[in-house]
Amino acid sequence: MRPNILKSSLENASFSIIFQIFCRCITFLLNAFVVRHVGQAILGVINVRLLLLESMILFLSREPFMKACLTNTAEHNWAQVVNLLWLTVPICLVMSFLFGYIWLFLLSTAEALPPYYTFAVWAVGLSCIIELSSLIVQLVANAFLFVRLKIILDTIMIAIRTMTFVPLILYYPENALLAFGIAQLVAAIFYTTSHYVYFHYHIAKLNKCTQKRRMSLRGSSDEFVVREFPFHTVKDFLPGQLENNDSYLDKKLTILTWSFFRQGILKQILTEGERLIMTIMPVLTFTEQGTYEIVNNLGSLAARFIFRPIEESGYFYFTQTVKRDKLISDQNPGEIQESVNVLTHLCSTVTSIGLIVLVFGQSYSSTLLWLYGGSKLTLPLPVLLLRAHCLAILLLGINGVTECYTNATADSATINKSNIIMIYESIAFLGASYLFATWFGPVGFIFGNCVNMSLRIIYSAMFINKRHRDTIYRPLRGLVPKPLFSASLLIAAFITNLSHAYFFPAEKILHLFVGIMMFMIVLMSWMYENYELLRLAANKWYKRRNKQGKSD
């Protein structure tokens, strides 16, 4: 592999993980701040309607062009690429007017819109146009491996948006949408300006040097291909400035962009399915939308910080251990035995975590919501939503492990088939979400997500069983909890529910103490039944530590 690209990819991945955690923590704290100072209705308008508007405009205007133009950048005619990427600005302008008109005049609402809603809608559209005016510079930063630049500017942009929004909310809480619109514009102006300023000084520094910046990329042979930085002034980032002996646009890149655009429409609909239903079909009030977003953010913490690292590590392990194009019986028995053990233990671990969340979530959802948003969030609806979300967390963990094994070990034909099946599953998710939301209100979206997760688990389980059908291995037995652990969970569920009924909200500390004691009992029962697994993990860690110590 080309060393510079590999190194930058790994850096980009690690920085992106840190940035995602940073953004999730900022969003988590910012939502709590908005709930305490403004209320769930404003949060629903911001997090559902306005952020969906921003997502729709930016995704459809930017993503197809970026994906196409990041393909094989070493062979780009940069004059054509600049011309192509500047088409995003008029496209974004059209998208902003189109979606802005829809958001202002065509979307039906069952309640009055907050003050400055019109300003916030147009501020979102204008901020998208401003941000896309630096898209060519963003692409150049990616293509020439300016990894840290992107992460630093993205982080500063989030910080500026937050520092602009929070003081305005403190002084004028009734004008929250005005504060949101101003923060969007300030952040977009900074983001665009900072890109051009950085490359202005960078190019000036290159021009002073006798040797220009070069990127060494390994080609198909062992020789290195030297590529000069093609921009000699900031004006070269504008269309028609670079020398170009070919056509105005690259035909292949244009066709590729159109292909990504058609693919992106479906992907965007499936990704933003819940928000689209909430926005287009007024099945929920703004307050219910805000409450749903709060609970969704709380519930997603477990998925992002616990389940996702398990899935990513498991995927890498299974891709290195199990061959995609060979039957299990034709592969190395030792490696297969180890992979089955790992899959069984992963299934057992995520199931145990999910069951603990499900059991304790029924009694301590109100306590967590009180800590997060105060008494405003201890009403029946938020508590019901978080309790239902605990079931979704259990299914999410099981789906993550089973699906990661399927994606890591399936052949190309199975993967292509699973992509088609996933489209049908997503359509079923959208339909179930709409029906359940109509029948049960906000909790219906969680039930719809549970239906989606269940269908995906069933498909992955069928693949895993079929994969091991002619062997003695049954890795999905790890999904069945062990007897002592199950009994301790039942006892904990009974006692914590009694504690919630008698001690909450008058005796919160006592209720929390009961939960801690029951959690310790559940944890000890799990450790007792999984002693061999814990000993194996401890031995692995001890050997690795000794090995690192000797190498140092």
Contacts of 147 (CB under 8 A, 6+ apart): 8, 11, 12, 15
pLDDT at 156: 85
pLDDT digits (tens, 9 = 90+) for 18-73: 656 666 677 677 777 777 777 778 888 988 899 999 999 998 888 888 878 876 66
Which of these, 193, 181, 213, lies nearest to 153 by C-alpha position? 193
Question: Which stretch of 45-54, 169-178, 299-308, 481-490 has the lowest confidence by average pLDDT?
Answer: 299-308
What would the two tokens of residue 383 be? 């508590």
Q: How confident is the model at residue 79 (pLDDT cuts 50, 70, 90)?
A: confident
Q: How many C-beta atoms surround the C-beta of residue 72 within 10 A?
A: 9
In this predicted structure, which of 90-94, 190-194, 470-474 has the lowest mean pLDDT?
Answer: 470-474
Q: What is the distance between the alpha carbons of residues 348 and 474, in angstroms, rounded to a whole number?
A: 13
Q: Which of 93-102, 398-407, 421-430, 479-488 has the lowest mean pLDDT?
A: 421-430
- In this structure, of 112-116, 315-319, 378-382, the range with the lowest mean pLDDT score is 315-319
C-alpha 238/C-alpha 136 separation (Å) is 9
Listed in sequence order, the residues at least 6 apart from 105 whose beta carbon sits closer than 8 Å to its beta carbon are none
Structural contact between residues 116 and 177, judged by C-beta atoms closer than 8 angstroms: yes
CA–CA distance, 31 with 52 (Å, rounded to integer): 16
Measuring CA to CA, which residue among 330, 318, 352 is closest to residue 464? 318
Least confident residue range of 354-358, 429-433, 513-517: 429-433
Taking CA 452 as the corner, what is the angle to CA 62 and CA 435, rounded to the nearest 5 degrees?
95
515 to each of 166, 349, 351, 366, 371, how far by Cα in Å?
Answer: 35, 21, 20, 13, 15
Given pLDDT bands bounded at 50, 70 and 90, which one contains residue 8?
Answer: low
Q: How far apart are CA 43 and CA 64, in angstroms?
A: 30
pLDDT at 11 over 70: no
Residue 452 makes CB contacts below 8 A (sequence gap 6+) with: 425, 426, 428, 429, 432
The pLDDT of residue 217: 39
Distances (CA, A) of 258 to 55, 74, 135: 19, 21, 17
Total H helices, total E strands in the chain: 20, 2
Q: What is residue 72's predicted lDDT score, i.e. its pLDDT?
A: 65
Q: What is the DSSP letter of 426?
A: H
